[in-house]
Amino acid sequence: MHFKNRYTQVISAIFLSFLLFFLVRLYFYLSYFNYFNTLTAYETFLSFFMGIRVDTAEIFTFTSLIWLALLIPFKFTLYKPYRTTLGLIWGVLIAAIVFFNIADSLYFGFVNRHLSDELNVIGNDVGILFSMAYDYYFYQTIVGFTIFFSIIYLFFKLFNSEISNKEIRQREWLNMLLLIIIAFVGIRGKIHDISFAISDAFAVNKLASGNLALNGFFCYYRSGDRHSVNHSGIELNKAVQNIKNNLSSQKISYIDAKYPLLKEFKEPKTQKYNVVIVMIESLSGQYLDALAHNNYQVTPNLDEMSNNGLLFTNFYANGQRSLEGITSIFTGIVQPYGFESIGGGLELYNLSYLGVMAQKNGYSTLSMQSGDRGSFRVDKISALAGFKEYYGSEDYQRTGEEEGEAKEDSWDGDMLRHLSSKLHTIKEPFISFAFTATTHAPYYSPGKKWEKYPHSTETEEGFLNTLNYTDSQIGEFMTRAKKEPWFDRTIFIFTADHCNHAKLDNAKKITTKKELFLPEFHIPLIVYAPKIFQGKKIDKIGSHVDILATIVNFLGWKGVFTSIDNSLLDETVNKRVAFVRKGGTIALTDGKGAVHYNYKTFLDGEGNATKELQDLLLSIDTAQAKLLKQTKWMK
């Protein structure tokens, strides 16, 4: 291999970079061909073309200094060691981005969106990533590393090649000026206005178009721009008034003009019931037979409580990550796009907290998870939220029949037995929160006795087996609870952190509600208290954020709080909605339709997607972001 001059060598390297990025995008497209079927051939072409703009911004951002250093008109730039070293750096950068985007393509199968700021909040859970790499995606990891080192070798060979014309001319300094301009425009992606951003990558107003054009690395490094996300879709005063008009309740009073969404329940009637919240990892609504009737037969205990308790059939997760679910339950807020996660900065905006309100009303507070204490930062978040006692896997003894190791976590049975022991001695009234983990991918089996299906760590059958196990442990926990003197005075709340986003074969669809909107957020909510509530199914719309207001309302807690929610037991609520965030897009459903917004334009709607629903979505997003930023959320 040899080149006519330095320019043809650098141009070849740039072309190779674009070719590699295109091949990853093509692999991504073919891997999720059914997902992209919503795009016409022309829309697909436009999306691929938009992908070139994304690739240009990435390649020019991370390599332009290298090719400028290779082309600067000095003699030393012709020395092979100099060029080979810079070529290796170029190759490592491109190989790393390609490797990242291959991993992102696999991640997309879990959540139908690209990576963004997940790596910033992974905290102590990096072990989960390594576990998935060497177990769940072992062969893909081997292929990925092979591609990584092959790319580096290609760039080494390219820049280790001979150059025929080694003449340096003074006029090349003019070329440098032109190259700097090209690099500047390429990095920005635009000549005018602000630089090319995630929301600009939608060739047409379809989410699939943006996902095809984008890749994980671009979303990740440009997520630094998320702090400049435009949350001014509607004027703030109008947004606040729109929320009050639509989401008002006869039981709620807004009490302070300076904090326009600060509220309290009128004439609270205190009831000293206990509350036990269990958040189940990755439990989509479709896997609960009492809800979806898909006959998986792995949730008999949850089904029994669904049939004898309050089963909310239109309940949604507010996000697609566990931390987002915890945030919404603990604070009544949907983490706005562009804001740090709780535990990483969101708490600086002075939020309402479930545990803090509980303590002020005389409640004991307890939080735990099956994972390590610091997993998802739940230890710090629980303390912030007012939960005085907290436990993680390091605190549990192995006292059950589970076989093998639970890898990074304890088995759910270990945690639930520990929860039983703590609730046996805790002072009433109390509120507790417990987060399971065994149903998280990869699906390690706790033992043959729970395997109703052929087990694999990667398949739907493996997930169902782990869910069967977790359900059985919940059943044993409830058997122990029924022997406690406090059982008749206790409300048990079972929900999920988010849907199961693992790419599973032969996954069935919910058959009972064909009109269901935002199915990738649909999860169960079961409120079980046989001495307090009669069993029934409730079709009203709800989401994680409503849990805070529901508890405050029913228990008659005194005190003010701010949240974009309503009590699920309040029959005077004007309008019910579920507001969700999916990476860099947000959506809202009222059960009649759904609207989607990417901070630039509204995407395809679902059902009766009205202008009023669009305005309400913009109002919720604007009010949350602006009031938080202006420190007008809570006193």
What percentage of the chain has pLDDT greater than the value 90?
Answer: 71
If we measure between CA atoms, which residue out of 234, 346, 345 comes closest to residue 615? 234
Q: What is the pLDDT of residue 557?
A: 97
- Name every residue whose Cβ is closer than 8 Å to that of residue 538 and which is 6 or more positions away in sequence: 310, 311, 312, 313, 568
More confident position, 409 or 387: 387
pLDDT band at 510 (very low <50, low <70, confident <90, very high): very low
pLDDT band at 122 (very low <50, low <70, confident <90, very high): low
How far is Cα 317 from Cα 142, in angstroms, rounded to an integer?
A: 34
Q: What is the pLDDT of residue 541?
A: 97
Beta strands in 371-478 (DSSP E): 389-391, 430-435
Q: What is the pLDDT of residue 408?
A: 64
433 DSSP β-pair partners = 277, 367
Is a pLDDT exceeding 70 seen at residue 80? Answer: yes
Q: Which of 20-34, 388-402, 403-417 has the lowest mean pLDDT?
A: 403-417
Is a pLDDT exceeding 50 seen at residue 512? Answer: no
How far is Cα 548 from Cα 563, in angstroms, rounded to an integer?
A: 8
Q: What is the pLDDT of residues 454-463, one digit of tens each?
A: 999 989 999 9
How far is Cα 522 from Cα 539, in angstroms, rounded to an integer?
A: 13
Place of tokens 């490797």: 99
Beta strands in 398-465 (DSSP E): 430-435
572: its two tokens = 């005077």
Residue 568: how many other CB atoms lie within 10 Å: 24
Q: What is the pLDDT of residue 120?
A: 56
Q: What is the pLDDT of residue 224?
A: 56
Q: CA triplet 529, 534, 536: central angle to 5 degrees?
A: 110
Beta strands in 212-288 (DSSP E): 252-254, 263-265, 274-280
Residue 620: how many other CB atoms lie within 10 Å: 24
Identify whether the C-beta of residue 548 lies closer than 8 Å to the C-beta of residue 561. Answer: yes
Backbone φ, ψ for residue 305 (5° rounding): -70, -30
* Exposed/middle/buried for residue 598 (C-beta within 10 Å: 0-12, 13-18, 19+): buried
Question: What is the arithmetic mean of pLDDT over 602-612?
Answer: 91
Identify whether the C-beta of residue 215 lies closer than 8 Å to the C-beta of residue 54. Answer: yes
User: How long a stretch of residues is the chain?
Assistant: 635
590: its two tokens = 């009222």
Is a pLDDT exceeding 60 seen at residue 496? Answer: yes
What percentage of the chain has pLDDT greater than the value 70?
Answer: 92
Identify whether the C-beta of residue 499 lies closer than 8 Å to the C-beta of residue 279. Answer: no
Is a pLDDT exceeding 80 seen at residue 584? Answer: yes
Is a pLDDT exceeding 50 seen at residue 70? Answer: yes
Q: In angstroms, how far is CA 19 from the centroid of its own chain?
A: 31
Question: What is the arithmetic mean of pLDDT over 94-114?
Answer: 86
Domains of the chain and CATH, by start: 2-228 (no CATH), 236-629 (3.40.720.10)
Q: What is the pLDDT of residue 513?
A: 47
What is residue 594's DSSP assignment?
E
Q: What is the pLDDT of residues 159-217, one digit of tens each?
A: 999 998 888 887 888 888 888 999 999 888 777 666 777 767 888 878 789 889 999 89
If we measure between CA atoms, which residue out of 417, 413, 415 comes closest to residue 472? 413
Answer positive or negative: Cα dihedral of 43, 48, 49, 55: positive
Q: In angstroms, how far is CA 70 from the centroid of its own chain?
A: 41
Q: Containing H/E element for 597?
A: strand 593-597
pTM: 0.81
How far is Cα 297 from Cα 289, in angstroms, rounded to an integer?
A: 7
Q: Containing H/E element for 163?
A: strand 162-163
Question: What is the arithmetic mean of pLDDT over 113-139?
Answer: 63
Answer positive or negative: Cα dihedral of 179, 46, 206, 506: negative
Answer positive or negative: Cα dihedral of 606, 612, 613, 619: positive
Determine if residue 318 is left, alpha or beta; phi over 0 gives left, psi from -120 to 50 gives alpha, anything else beta. alpha
Identify whether the C-beta of residue 483 lies closer than 8 Å to the C-beta of residue 476. Answer: no
Question: What is the arithmetic mean of pLDDT over 49-62?
Answer: 95
More confident position, 508 or 284: 284
pLDDT band at 135 (very low <50, low <70, confident <90, very high): low
Question: What is the arithmetic mean of pLDDT over 103-119?
Answer: 75
Q: What is the pLDDT of residues 540-582, one digit of tens each?
A: 999 999 999 999 999 999 999 999 889 999 999 999 999 999 9
Is a pLDDT exceeding 50 seen at residue 26? Answer: yes
Q: What is the pLDDT of residues 414-466, one digit of tens each?
A: 999 999 999 999 999 999 999 999 999 889 999 999 999 999 998 999 999 99
Q: What is the pLDDT of residue 175?
A: 85
> Rg of the chain's alpha carbons, rounded to an integer?
27
Distance between the two ends of the chain, CA-based, in angstroms?
Answer: 69
Q: What is the pLDDT of residues 252-292, one digit of tens each?
A: 999 999 999 999 999 888 999 999 999 999 999 999 999 99
If we measure between CA atoms, which residue out of 435, 438, 434 comes closest to residue 406? 438
